[in-house]
Structure 1
Amino acid sequence: MLMRNTIFSSLLFSLLLIAIPSRAEDPFNLPLLNDGTSSIVSLESEYRLGRNWARILRGQAPMLEDPITYQYLEDLLWRLLPHSQVQDRRLELFLLANPSFNAFAVPGGVIGVHGGLILAAESEGELASVIAHELAHLSQRHFAQRLEEERRNRPLMLAGILAGILVAAADTEGGVAVMSSTMGASAQNQLAFSRRNEQEADRVGMQTLVSANFDPHTMPQMFSRLQRNYQFYGQRPPEFLLTHPVTESRIADSLNRASQLPDVREKSNSTEFSLIKARMDVQFAKSPVASLEHFRNSLSRNTSAYSRYGLMLAAIANQDFELAEQTRAQMPVELRQHPYVEYSRIEGLLQQENYTKALELTRQLLALYPDSRPVRSLNARVLRSNEQLSASLREYKSLARDYPNDTQIWFQLAETEGLAGNTLGVHEARIEYFMLTAQIDLALKQITYARRGKGLTASDIARLDQREQEARALRQEMKEQF
């Protein structure tokens, strides 16, 4: 089942980039923003298409709800972005709870990373090389290049993809079959175009890497790992699944390009990368016991930050809180005081239901990192655990204003409103959650339920009326797009 899910994910997350045939024979003859192609697909149109597709993604794919890892990836993305050629920088990052080696870019600034990509990367530069590559897909507007001649086929193609998503929710093989039939006989031409796009994304992405002070050789290193990943499964995936086709010639070409660029050598991985690697190893371990054994062995070989932090996390996962605290106490002071380590210590205290101590440490961490999204989210959780519901609601509402597309914040806000006995607040948070996950009918039902509440003010009714208009308009827009 895992292998089938991996294949389906690879197909789903890349077809939007390769589904539409191109009129251009020269892959490097890229459209300018004011040329005919760009006038057909404006940046704003791409943005709206991508963000509505993102709603479907949120509702269909399991997200990895790990604020620390998400923040790390977002920081890495924004480290690369100023050095890229991306013009519309309204990006949205998705972190998927999937152990497969994959990443994707969708028109409109949607970047997706599978948790397995972090597992596969052996350096921060390798991880950055994949993100830089996906940014290049966006900056070169490979989607817009493909749209002009076959515009009429686009709704049919996207409809087929979405049908596959819905079928795959219950039957992965069925979803793949629907998509395969949708692709039809044009798969080979689409793959050829995709390969040319990949070559262009390699070149542009490598320039981004160097400009951001990463070693360009990390890109061919990552390609080699991807190729070995295919070999591990004992067979080459079907052609239409190769959204990032890797060949010996492509690896050689990227090595040649890297040798001609400035020599930027990474001295070592950042502490943050090592800690995030440990988090992913615990996250995707076969079992908590297997994770504990892995990190015991790792720590016996070396006392790196990865080994120490990983053992602490594995101990917490096994509810061996004494071992977790012993491991933390034996860390060097710099590592023990790292915000990731303190965050995890507080998570352990929450599992132990030691809410008072958790609140004390959270306040200290918040004083040091008042603008940190993970720390603020943790603060809201801890406040709620301590039954300080008003303070927890203030934090969640503040987070929702700052990060309005974060479905987990809206979910937790609805839960907290419920504990506080605020029925209207529950409905309004759920409405937003369902809108963000493309569940428009459920959003409209919540509006209906909210209208039945007692004591609604004129302002409440007007707000619900506005939400209904927005929901119906969104449903119509998505119907036209997909």
Structure 2
Amino acid sequence: MRDVRRDRDFLDDDAILEYLNNFGSALVAAYPGARGETGADFYFFAVRDPMLNAFALPGGFIAVHSALVIAAQNESELASVLSHEIGHVTQRHIARMIGQQKQDALMPLAALILAALASKAGPDAAVGVFMGGQGLAIQRQLNFSRDAEREADRVGFQIMDAAGFDTSGMVAFFQRMQSATKVYSDLTPPWLMSHPLSSERITDIRARIREAPFRQRVDGLEFHLVRARARVLQDESAQGRIDAAAAFEAQLKLQSRQQQAAGHYGLALLALRKAELATAGERLAKARATMKPTTGAVFSTGQSTSDGAAMFASLSLDIKLAPGQPATLGSQTLKEAEQAYQQFPLSRGIARQYAQAMIASGMLEQAVAFLREEVRLYREEPKLYDLLAKTYAAQGKQTLQHIALAESYVLSGAVPAAVDQLGIARKASDASFYDLALIDARERELSERVREEKKEKKEK
């Protein structure tokens, strides 16, 4: 996961990550046995990739490609893919295969992850990485049998049904994935390619659907807004932006108010990415006006999941915090950020935007106090440490700045860089006795970790 997070195509977008994790967590919570015998903590994320694909990694890490999010026509279709992947983790398919091999099994697994990421360059590139070097070992260890795939289908179907989704979405979307990847055989590892499904397995799912009660589920606006974000972020080239704008303009002509709101939202995000701040604000206002907020139901009810208010508030803050905005907006932005944080206290993205608004308004002491409390509550967020380092830098506190940066690097997997930052912190003129003691202890700990990692690589 450290390698994945460092990859340029890891979609480190707060709104998309929050949606996927809320959505995926609701699926897990609806099915009592979803966490399996290990009680796995799931983490859902997106990868920028034009291929229809999803894959699972050991430990409950589940990824979806941006193209898959865009291709899903409703939340039931998206749930079908995530539920299938949860099924693989629940049944410990990956762990079972790795457990049968030698301890160096993670080496070919790493090659498989690289192949999955390489698939964005095209299927030939992915197959090339897959077949090269560790290809045979990867196939032996992670090439799931048909029985394992059917088992994931069965568990995924049960998860969907328990969570209140329309189970027919599984057939609809899996057929779309099969059509998009028919050049691959059923022997292709499911994380590398796009879960090719045999007609036999689709027929089995249809049989299960006939035995289940019909259920129609109303999608929340947030689903359509996330698809719009994924469309913008998937391809940020000039042509990609043109194509995205055309897709959003087409959405505005549809009868669905959700689609229209998502079209305006997507055009607002495009304008923001091009630094057209006035246009971005206007488009966002149209998106908000298109659909009246509804009070909400939560994911597990099977009804509307979100009125999009949190995503609207977050984009509004992004626009107001963007470079080029007049300084007179500072107090208004801070007030808006505080209100958004109070309204959506569990949104990690909005919490950081609130801190950014305080920093922009010169409220550095308040920002430090807020960020230190956030760091205490959420120790695994490198972005919090980055903001804390930025605040310390604005205060001229060099030692604390580099200590915070060191912690950010540790969480990002760049331990040697973290050790370097601690060295810089030690040499800072404002380092106190307490700071030096803290630096020495942390540096010894990290230096030992670096030595262990080098030893492990040498042994491999």
SS in 2 for 1:72: helix
**Structure 2 residue 257 is matched with structure 1 residue 304:** yes
Aligned to 2:71: 120
**Structure 2 residue 18 is matched with structure 1 residue 63:** no
Q: How many percent identity over aligned positions? A: 26
Aligned to 2:317: 346
Q: In 2, distance between residues paired with 1:345 and 1:112?
A: 28
SS in 1 for 2:334: helix
Deviation, 1:127, is: 1.1
Q: In 1, distance between residues paired with 2:60 and 2:23?
A: 15
SS in 1 for 2:181: helix
Q: Structure 1 residues 168 and 475, CA, compared in 2 at 3 Å: closer, same or farther?
A: farther
Deviation, 1:266, is: 2.6
> For 1:83-482, what aligned pairs fall within 5 Å after superposition?
83=31, 84-87=33-36, 88-154=39-105, 156-158=107-109, 177=128, 179-185=130-136, 189=140, 193-230=144-181, 235-236=183-184, 239=188, 241-242=192-193, 244-260=195-211, 262-284=212-234, 286-302=239-255, 304-318=257-271, 319=276, 320-321=279-280, 323-324=282-283, 327-328=286-287, 330-334=289-293, 338-351=309-322, 353=325, 354-475=329-450, 478=453, 480=456
Aligned to 1:43: none
Q: 1:1-46, CA deviations, whole angstroms, 9 ceiling, x for partnerless residues?
A: xxxxxxxxxxxxxxxxxxxxxxxxxxxxxxxxxxxxxxxxxxxxxx
Deviation, 1:202, is: 1.1
Deviation, 1:287, is: 4.3
Q: Could you tell me which amino acid in structure 2 is paired with residue 263 of structure 1? A: P
Aligned to 1:13: none
Deviation, 1:304, is: 1.2
SS in 1 for 2:51: coil
Q: In 1, distance between residues paired with 2:447 and 2:120?
A: 24
Q: In 2, distance between residues paired with 1:163 and 1:287?
A: 24
Q: Structure 1 residues 206 and 166, CA, compared in 2 at 3 Å: closer, same or farther?
A: closer
Q: Could you tell me which amino acid in structure 2 is paired with residue 386 of structure 1? A: S
| Contact 2:4 2:10 survives alignment (8 Å) | no
SS in 1 for 2:52: coil
| Contact 1:400 1:406 survives alignment (8 Å) | yes
Q: In 2, distance between residues paired with 1:375 and 1:364?
A: 10
Deviation, 1:192, is: 5.3
SS in 2 for 1:104: strand
Deviation, 1:158, is: 4.7
Deviation, 1:298, is: 1.9
Most deviating of 289-298 and 79-88: 289-298
Q: In 2, distance between residues paired with 1:98 and 1:126?
A: 18
| Contact 1:410 1:429 survives alignment (8 Å) | yes
Aligned to 2:298: none
Q: 1:252-302, CA deviations, whole angstroms, 9 ceiling, x for partnerless residues?
A: 222223333x32513321222122222223333644454344323322332
Deviation, 1:145, is: 1.5
Aligned to 1:78: 25
Deviation, 1:75, is: 1.0
Q: 1:215-239, CA deviations, whole angstroms, 9 ceiling, x for partnerless residues?
A: 22222222111112225xxx44894
Deviation, 1:390, is: 2.5
Q: What TM-score do you get using the length of structure 1 for normalisation?
A: 0.77
Deviation, 1:328, is: 4.2
Q: In 2, distance between residues paired with 1:448 and 1:183?
A: 39
Q: In 2, distance between residues paired with 1:169 and 1:279?
A: 19
| Contact 2:382 2:411 survives alignment (8 Å) | yes
Deviation, 1:124, is: 0.7
Most deviating of 203-212 and 435-444: 435-444
Q: In 2, distance between residues paired with 1:163 and 1:96?
A: 12
Q: Structure 1 residues 436 and 203, CA, compared in 2 at 3 Å: closer, same or farther?
A: same
Q: In 2, distance between residues paired with 1:187 and 1:470?
A: 34
Q: 1:346-386, CA deviations, whole angstroms, 9 ceiling, x for partnerless residues?
A: 32223351333322322222232233323212211222222
| Contact 2:281 2:316 survives alignment (8 Å) | no
Q: Could you tell me which amino acid in structure 1 is paired with residue 247 of structure 2? A: H
| Contact 2:108 2:138 survives alignment (8 Å) | no
Q: In 1, distance between residues paired with 2:120 and 2:409?
A: 17
Q: In 2, distance between residues paired with 1:162 and 1:283?
A: 21
Q: In 1, distance between residues paired with 2:318 and 2:106?
A: 46
| Contact 2:268 2:280 survives alignment (8 Å) | yes
Unaligned runs of 5+ in 2: 295-306
| Contact 1:90 1:109 survives alignment (8 Å) | yes
Q: Could you tell me which amino acid in structure 2 is paired with residue 366 of structure 1? A: Y
SS in 1 for 2:44: strand
Q: Could you tell me which amino acid in structure 1 is paired with residue 418 of structure 2? A: A
| Contact 1:86 1:136 survives alignment (8 Å) | no
| Contact 1:214 1:264 survives alignment (8 Å) | no
Q: Structure 1 residues 361 and 160, CA, compared in 2 at 3 Å: closer, same or farther?
A: closer
Q: Structure 1 residues 418 and 131, CA, compared in 2 at 3 Å: closer, same or farther?
A: same
Q: Could you tell me which amino acid in structure 2 is paired with residue 324 of structure 1? A: R
Aligned to 2:302: none
Most deviating of 85-94 and 188-197: 188-197
Q: In 2, distance between residues paired with 1:178 and 1:333?
A: 49
